[in-house]
Structure 1
Amino acid sequence: MKLAFLGPLFGASGPWASVYLDTSRDTDDPDRAIDLRWRHQRDALLAQGADHATVSALAVAVGTDQALPGRHGQALFAAQGHLALVEELPEPPVRDTARLDALPDAAPLAVQHAPDIPYLAVALTCGNEWIPDESTGDRVAGEYVLIVSEAGRWPTGRVKPEHRLSHQIPIHGWRRAAPEVARELGDLAQRHRAESIVLCRARDDAWASGMLVNRWPRALRERLTVVDDDCVTGPEAAAGPTLLEEHTAGVLEGRLNAADQRQLDTFLAQRARHPGQSEGVGAAVRALQQGQARALLLDRRARLAERLWLGTEPPQIALSASDLETFGASAVQEEPAVAALLYAAVRTGAELIVLPPDRVEVTDGVGVLLRYRTVPADGPR
């Protein structure tokens, strides 16, 4: 996963105020609940020494995701009185947090972006009601086919889908309309480079979905997963965000995007030959020091107790302050390990792979894929 979306957080100096807030709207009075949560975190920032201009900049953005239904959250970052980044979170944080530190607390945001899979979700259903005839504009009584599709990147597509379209077509016109709808959906999948296509249909809608799917090229059909769900019975069900979210999650759970999967396969081969260079905080630090980290691998459950030391230049990261003297660092700072590793990864152009739970174990919950072939520090194998 590329980390360009974190760029605004590493181009300015701190101290950084980082806030993770539950802004779900599944309660009776969500605005009051959000305001109460924010006031607790605002007070925490002020107690840590945050300036009022920075706290005010955050306050303006809190709760601006009110158009999103259901459970979700916000990640907000500000420094020097300026709001730098606001992101909606597909899942609310386990607990609200507010931290003031030299580095932004960006790791929870990065983890919620993973696995960053481009997808297309399509809901298809048939029903009966008064509907507009797309060819004439008149409302007619009868059966219809409803197609709702959504393209995005999983899981952030749950809170900010990139493209959504819908068609409601009288069933007597479906055979004629299906080729054009299939072409439109195929173009959308190709444009978004969708690696997975999820089609949700009612169990008795095989005819309608077959008219659509059979017109796709093989390359698209090979990425298709069909989900039969009897609850898909009408326009409201097909158009609701919960439907697409639920079934897309079921298909993509535990996967990596194609690029990350290739890099993970390469990492596993590298680790088999040179484990000492491939896993653990020390190995990641050495690779980042040398600008040789192609990708940082992180177990999403990792809770690193260590703190690392940073200098002013991108490769200046070390296990201790004295180690940085070899880089000629004139100013050093001690930071939480995960924040420091992520900072160094962004500054040196490394990517991030968030490992699915229980799939690959790495020492300390951290691994590193090297850019170049080097003489192994752990000796020949």
Structure 2
Amino acid sequence: MDLAFLHPLYEHSGPWASVYVDLSEHAEDTAQVRDMTAAAVARDLAGQGADEATCTAVRDAVRDLRHATDPHGRALFARAGRIVLNPPLARRPPTGTTALWAPLPHVAPLLELAGEDPLCVVAYIDRKGADFELRSGVGGQDAGGVTGRQWPVHRTSTGDWSERHFQLRVENTWEHNAAEIADALAVCQEETRADLLILVGDGRECRAVHERLPQRLHDRVVEAEHGTGSRLLDEEVERTRTAHVRMRARQDLERFQAARAPDDEGRTVAVEGVPALVEAAREHRIDELLIRLDGPDTHREVWIGEGPDQLAVRRQELRTLGEPDAWSARADDALLRAAVETGAPAISVAPALPDEGEDTPAGGMGALLRWK
């Protein structure tokens, strides 16, 4: 997950209100229920010590969502009476609406609720052209299309010379249109930076487009089994997106596992456990952060200063480093702040864990390192 969008959260000091709002339920009384949720969240934050202005800002922001059609939910991050960031969620918060008041914004859940949300271009293909739809975890939108040659596109059943000549022209039209669709789809992928291309339509037409796509896109293409307008197609798109997330997480976890061993120069390029991660963060050496959100070390206490690289396992250690002020924070959120500062991505390894005995970073957190 690219964490660059979190930069605004670290331009000001805390404390912060972090609220994950569940918007997945839609019923006749939804507006009333969300009004009640807004009041409950404000009371919860006040009970944790949040200032009145921030409680009011959060309450009003949640109230403003009472008619929202978000399929899953929204995250809200606020301080000093102002909502600073409110990204949509690609998945429903598993424990419903939650609120936390802490020195740092609690962004770790975003790795699973908003991270690794692959973009798909779904291409609805027929002999005359194609329509493109861009899909993500928060819905779909029109992404254009292409219209090829409109005539001739249908075969005949007779066998005389003129009809065979006509059928050849039909074949030429199909081939021309397949090439046009492939070119337009390649442009659409480049503009949207879509992770996946899903081809929907007759098998022969989809294969013709698939074959004409640039080689660089072939491993992104899936030919759907179900047709336009089918509920099964929606399920297939979601399965494809889920499989892609699992594959990416698996690849990153395997890279981490391989990097535990020293390289040819005797350097270990992977670390795990809070003390080693804190040291790597202070030295700006985290290249990618891997987190299992239910790991025992994610909520372990560390100490932070004003700067993202001012963190330590013990409070006295931070003072020794020259930081006069220190606050207690969760390890996962402190390390994610350091990753944002250095432009390092982060992933949840949960999608790569079908088995309980999976070899994951010790304590639930690890990192691949960069070397200066």
TM over 0.5, yes or no? yes
In 2, the alpha carbon distance for the partners of 1:160 and 1:84 equals 24
CA drift of 1:281 comes to 1.3
CA drift of 1:256 comes to 1.5
Give matches, 1:5-24, under 5 Å.
5-24=5-24
Question: CA separation of 1:182/1:30 partners in 2, compared to 1, >3 Å: closer, same or farther?
Answer: farther
Partner in structure 1 of residue 321 of structure 2: 327
TM-score of the pair, normalised by structure 2: 0.78
Question: CA separation of 1:276/1:247 partners in 2, compared to 1, >3 Å: closer, same or farther?
Answer: closer
Give matches, 1:221-232, under 5 Å.
221-229=218-226, 232=227
Could you tell me whether the CA contact under 8 Å between 1:17 and 1:54 is conserved in 2?
yes
In 1, the alpha carbon distance for the partners of 2:17 and 2:233 equals 32
TM-score of the pair, normalised by structure 1: 0.77
Which protein has the bigger strand share? 1
CA drift of 1:91 comes to 1.3
Partner in structure 2 of residue 294 of structure 1: 287
Q: Which amino acid aligns with 1:158?
A: G
Partner in structure 2 of residue 217 of structure 1: 214
Q: Which amino acid aligns with 2:114?
A: H
Does 2:142 align with 1:149? no
Partner in structure 2 of residue 378 of structure 1: none
CA shift digits 1:284-335 (9 cap, x unpaired): 1111122222222112432434200012232211111011123111001111
Question: CA separation of 1:329/1:60 partners in 2, compared to 1, >3 Å: closer, same or farther?
Answer: same
CA shift digits 1:59-99 (9 cap, x unpaired): 34335495646x40110011111110011111121221111
Does 2:272 align with 1:267? no
The secondary structure found in structure 2 opposite 1:308 is: strand
CA shift digits 1:171-205 (9 cap, x unpaired): 9658364433332211111233444323344xxx2
Question: CA separation of 1:265/1:187 partners in 2, compared to 1, >3 Å: closer, same or farther?
Answer: same
CA drift of 1:24 comes to 1.7
Partner in structure 2 of residue 256 of structure 1: 248
Question: CA separation of 1:212/1:282 partners in 2, compared to 1, >3 Å: closer, same or farther?
Answer: same
In 1, the alpha carbon distance for the partners of 2:301 and 2:46 equals 24
Partner in structure 1 of residue 312 of structure 2: 318
The secondary structure found in structure 1 opposite 2:335 is: helix
Could you tell me whether the CA contact under 8 Å between 2:253 and 2:352 is conserved in 1?
no
In 2, the alpha carbon distance for the partners of 1:338 and 1:76 equals 18
Partner in structure 2 of residue 376 of structure 1: none
Question: CA separation of 1:245/1:302 partners in 2, compared to 1, >3 Å: closer, same or farther?
Answer: farther
Q: Which amino acid aligns with 2:364?
A: G
Question: CA separation of 1:275/1:361 partners in 2, compared to 1, >3 Å: closer, same or farther?
Answer: farther
Question: CA separation of 1:105/1:6 partners in 2, compared to 1, >3 Å: closer, same or farther?
Answer: same
CA drift of 1:216 comes to 1.7
Instruction: Out of 79-88 and 163-172, give the one that drifted further.
Output: 163-172
Could you tell me whether the CA contact under 8 Å between 1:124 and 1:145 is conserved in 2?
no
Could you tell me whether the CA contact under 8 Å between 1:198 and 1:226 is conserved in 2?
yes
In 2, the alpha carbon distance for the partners of 1:162 and 1:367 equals 37
Give matches, 1:337-356, under 5 Å.
337-355=331-349, 356=351
The secondary structure found in structure 2 opposite 1:75 is: strand
CA shift digits 1:93-121 (9 cap, x unpaired): 1221111111111111233233254x433
CA drift of 1:42 comes to 1.8
Q: CA RMSD in A?
A: 3.3
Question: CA separation of 1:275/1:35 partners in 2, compared to 1, >3 Å: closer, same or farther?
Answer: farther
Partner in structure 1 of residue 138 of structure 2: 159
In 1, the alpha carbon distance for the partners of 2:108 and 2:66 equals 21
CA shift digits 1:124-151 (9 cap, x unpaired): 377xxxxxxxxxxxxxxxxx87844334
Partner in structure 1 of residue 371 of structure 2: 372
Q: Which amino acid aligns with 1:318?
A: A
In 1, the alpha carbon distance for the partners of 2:213 and 2:66 equals 36
Q: Which amino acid aligns with 2:73?
A: G
Could you tell me whether the CA contact under 8 Å between 1:315 and 1:348 is conserved in 2?
no
Give matches, 1:134-213, under 5 Å.
147-151=130-134, 157-159=136-138, 164-165=143-144, 175=174, 177-201=177-201, 205-213=202-210
In 2, the alpha carbon distance for the partners of 1:145 and 1:29 equals 46
Instruction: Out of 166-175 and 6-15, give the one that drifted further.
Output: 166-175
Could you tell me whether the CA contact under 8 Å between 1:321 and 1:332 is conserved in 2?
yes
Could you tell me whether the CA contact under 8 Å between 1:294 and 1:368 is conserved in 2?
yes
Q: Which runs of 5+ in 2 are unaligned?
A: 154-172
The secondary structure found in structure 2 opposite 1:107 is: coil
Does 2:46 align with 1:53? no
In 2, the alpha carbon distance for the partners of 1:28 and 1:245 equals 29
CA drift of 1:276 comes to 10
The secondary structure found in structure 1 opposite 2:144 is: strand
Partner in structure 2 of residue 103 of structure 1: 104
In 1, the alpha carbon distance for the partners of 2:218 and 2:82 equals 47
CA drift of 1:360 comes to 4.5
Question: CA separation of 1:314/1:280 partners in 2, compared to 1, >3 Å: closer, same or farther?
Answer: same
Question: CA separation of 1:227/1:247 partners in 2, compared to 1, >3 Å: closer, same or farther?
Answer: farther
In 1, the alpha carbon distance for the partners of 2:152 and 2:58 equals 54
In 2, the alpha carbon distance for the partners of 1:182 and 1:276 equals 41
